[in-house]
Structure 1
Amino acid sequence: MNKLGRSLPPLATLLPFEATARLGSVSRAAQELHITQAAVSRQIRALEADLGVALFERRNRGVHLTESGRSLAYTLGNALGELASEADRLRGVAGVNQVVLLCQMCEGFHWLMPRLSSFHQQHPEIELKVTTLMRPLAEFDGYFDVAMQSSNRDRGAHPLLFSASDEVFPVCSPAYLARQPGGVLTLEALARCTLLHHQTVPQYALEWDTWLAAHGLPIPQGAKALSFDSYSLMLQAAVSGHGLAMGWRRTAEGMLARGELVAPFGQKVMLEDALSVCMRHGQAKRRETQALAAWLRAQLA
């Protein structure tokens, strides 16, 4: 065994000791580490036996660091802090004046990009890093500070900061609408149209079947279909005149404003809880994170 292996105390004993030294309580250390008080006490005794010194004085039903205990707690705290910092660096953790926003590709591309200058103008000192996810937040194992995703997707243990509403309605290109008889479309005439579908797991809260069901209509028999695994690709297919897509106001509004898309029907469905904004589980309060969350809340209002 190398010298490091011979010199190091049992590694399993170090976290229970560090937590007890920092919190000044065996019971609180046990709660933080999600183990029993007996297990914490057993590991501390094992560490004391390995080192041959007492690390705590036990009096008045409490624990108090000895001189040796204070020395070890200081050294161990610094070592664990450096290890945590290096691990955070490798994971891509944001540093001071940096913040990481995790979002679905469609929100990032269609909603966030046109608004980024507003964040930079309000917070020129903060560097914003944007990361995208395809799967639900609960399945994401990378680093982020704040995340945005569809509310019907599992967010796991990450706490919800707030949610935002959205409107859902069919969209198509002006050219596609002009090709219809009289340049007009009704829901009853969908059977002669091509319906563009966004297929993802889990499904969005509203697709053609659920949207039509909200208006008392089934999927029309005879309608052609084109399916995409990307919402952005589906919208581009609608812009290119390939059919009717199910559009969400927040992500389609730019194309609607530029005249690339039109909404041929008056019918819409409002979702009060369409988009969820979450904070990373266990995250300490950071000024940068709070600034980003406040900006998102204002923009999504």
Structure 2
Amino acid sequence: MNKLGKSLPPLASLLPFEAAARLLSFSRAADELHLTQAAVSRQIRALEDSLGIRLFQRRNRGVFLTDAGREFSLTLGNALREVASTADRLRGVAGKNEVVLLCQPCEAFHWLMPRLSNFHQQYPHIELKMVTWTAPLTEFQGYFDVAMQSSNRDHGLHPLLFSATDEVFPVCSPGYLRGRTAVGLDELSGHTLLHHDALPVYQLEWDTWLATFGAEVPPGARRRSFDTYALMLHAAVEGHGLAMGWRRTSQRMLDNGVLLAPFSQSVHLCEALSVYRRDGQAPREEANRLIEWLRVELT
């Protein structure tokens, strides 16, 4: 027995309902879908009859969603966006004059956003779309043209284009140190260490960073953990402890004085951030321009 077929409402009614719910207008939905207003109204009435409940309140000057209509609109909208995303991924195409960059949230916010105006000035005809993702590239199921992620994370069959260097060192807010400006490796037992817990782990966390200098995380150090690097960095800005900072994503905050680097030690990574092209993607001029721009900016 096909239970799914028995539960689903008339499929032809779903797009008219989604458009009418989003636009709060049957006539505007009709224009968008190239239908008549009567056809949209008829499809929505069929949907309401199938569900046995009213989805719109019809008034003289317009239509308004009922509580049930809002609930169904949210569910349907999410489902249709997921279908569209999968379809785009399977098609392997992007829109004309459009390029999609997949990157980690912290790089997007702290490194890429301040540079976007530069990209748009150089390539005003290209629409750059950013998609953020915290897991390794192999787990992303949506569409992208170019991806940027930490170098030690799995990238599967997506070909590596180039890698960039970075520098890693602890950071904290000036207020956390209460007037001090320096901390020694032998003083960590009295501090709170902020950790970024991720699977797989990033290249350097407190244990691996300290091991570079022949030191260990002291048992007396307090620990606070965060599931994203961006959240951990924000906790450092708010004075909750010492965080492991990366130069590219913390430099502006260091320049602005909201963070400081209290240790004399730092670790230089030759391959810290890597840029990939989508596997199987035919060469696109928009993607090539983005890759060239990233190569220059990351140098």
Normalised TM-score (structure 1):
0.69
**Residues 91 and 142 of structure 1 are in contact (CA less than 8 Å); yes or no, is this contact kept in structure 2?**
no
Q: Report the secondary structure of 1:142's partner residue.
A: coil
Match of 1:134 in 2: 134
Deviates more, 1:86-95 or 1:101-110: 86-95
User: Which residue identity lines up with residue 135 of structure 1 in the other structure?
Assistant: A
Question: 2:106 is matched with which residue?
Answer: 106
| Amino acid aligned to 1:148 | M
Identity %, equivalent residues: 65
- Contact persistence 1:160–1:278 (CA under 8 A): yes
Task: Verify the 8 A CA contact 2:173 2:237 in the aligned structure 1.
Answer: yes
Q: What is the aligned partner in structure 1 of residue 291 from structure 2?
A: 293
Encode CA deviations 1:160-194: one digit per residue, 9 max, x unaligned.
01000100000000111225xx5531111011000
Number of paired residues?
A: 214
Q: How far is 1:92 from its partner?
A: 8.6
Q: What is the alpha-carbon distance in structure 2 between the residues aligned to residue 88 and residue 276 of structure 1?
A: 24
CA distance in structure 1 between the aligned counterparts of 2:197 and 2:290, rounded to whole angstroms: 31
Kindly indicate whether residue 243 of structure 2 is the aligned counterpart of residue 273 of structure 1: no
| CA deviation map 1:207-230 (0-9, x unaligned) | 000000001001112000110001
Work out the CA distance in 2 between the residues paired with 1:183 and 1:293: 39
Q: Does 1:157 align with 2:124?
A: no
Distance in 2 between residues matched to 1:142 and 1:187, nearest whole Å: 43
- Residue-by-residue CA offset, 1:17-57 (whole Å, 9 max, x unaligned): xxxxxxxxxxxxxxxxxxxxxxxxxxxxxxxxxxxxxxxxx
Give the unaligned 5+ runs of structure 2: 1-85
In 2: Cα distance, 1:230 partner to 1:134 partner = 8
The aligned residue for residue 18 of structure 2 is none
1:231 aligns with 2:229: yes
Q: Which residue of 2 aligns with 1:96?
A: 96
Matches within 5 A, 1:144-183: 144-178=144-178
Shift of 1:99: 0.3
Compute the TM-score of the two structures, normalised by the length of structure 2. Answer: 0.69
- SS, match of residue 222 in structure 1: coil
C-alpha distance in 2, partners of 1:170/1:183? 12
- Equivalence map 1:1-301=2 (5 Å): 87-88=87-88, 93-178=93-178, 184-301=182-299
Residue of structure 1 in register with 2:75 after alignment: none
The whole-number CA distance in structure 2 between the counterparts of 1:122 and 1:271 is 30
Contact 1:100 1:146 in 2 (8 A): yes
After TM superposition, give the deviation of residue 137 of structure 1 in Å.
Answer: 0.6
For the residues of structure 1 that align with 2:109 and 2:234, how far apart are their CA atoms?
12
Amino acid at match of 1:113: M
1:88 Cα deviation (Å)? 3.2
The Cα of 1:251 is off from its aligned counterpart by 0.6
Confirm or deny: 8 A CA contact 1:91 1:143 kept in the other structure: no
Query: What is the identity, as a one-letter code, of the residue corresponding to 1:162?
Result: F
Letter in 2 for 1:233: L
Q: Distance in 2 between matches of 1:197 and 1:184?
A: 20
CA distance in structure 1 between the partners assigned to 2:182 and 2:263 by the alignment: 9
The answer for the alignment partner of 2:36 in structure 1 is none
CA 1:92–1:279: 2 relative to 1, 3 Å:
closer
Taking the aligned partners of 1:164 and 1:89, their CA distance within structure 2 comes to: 28
Q: String of CA shifts for 1:241-285, please: whole Å, max 9, x gaps.
A: 110000000011111111000000110001101111000001111
Deviations 1:56-91 (A, max 9, x none): xxxxxxxxxxxxxxxxxxxxxxxxxxxxxx943887
Partners of 1:247 and 1:205 lie apart in 2 by 12
CA contact (8 A) 2:150 2:274 kept: yes
Cα 1:87–1:239 change in 2 (3 A) is: closer
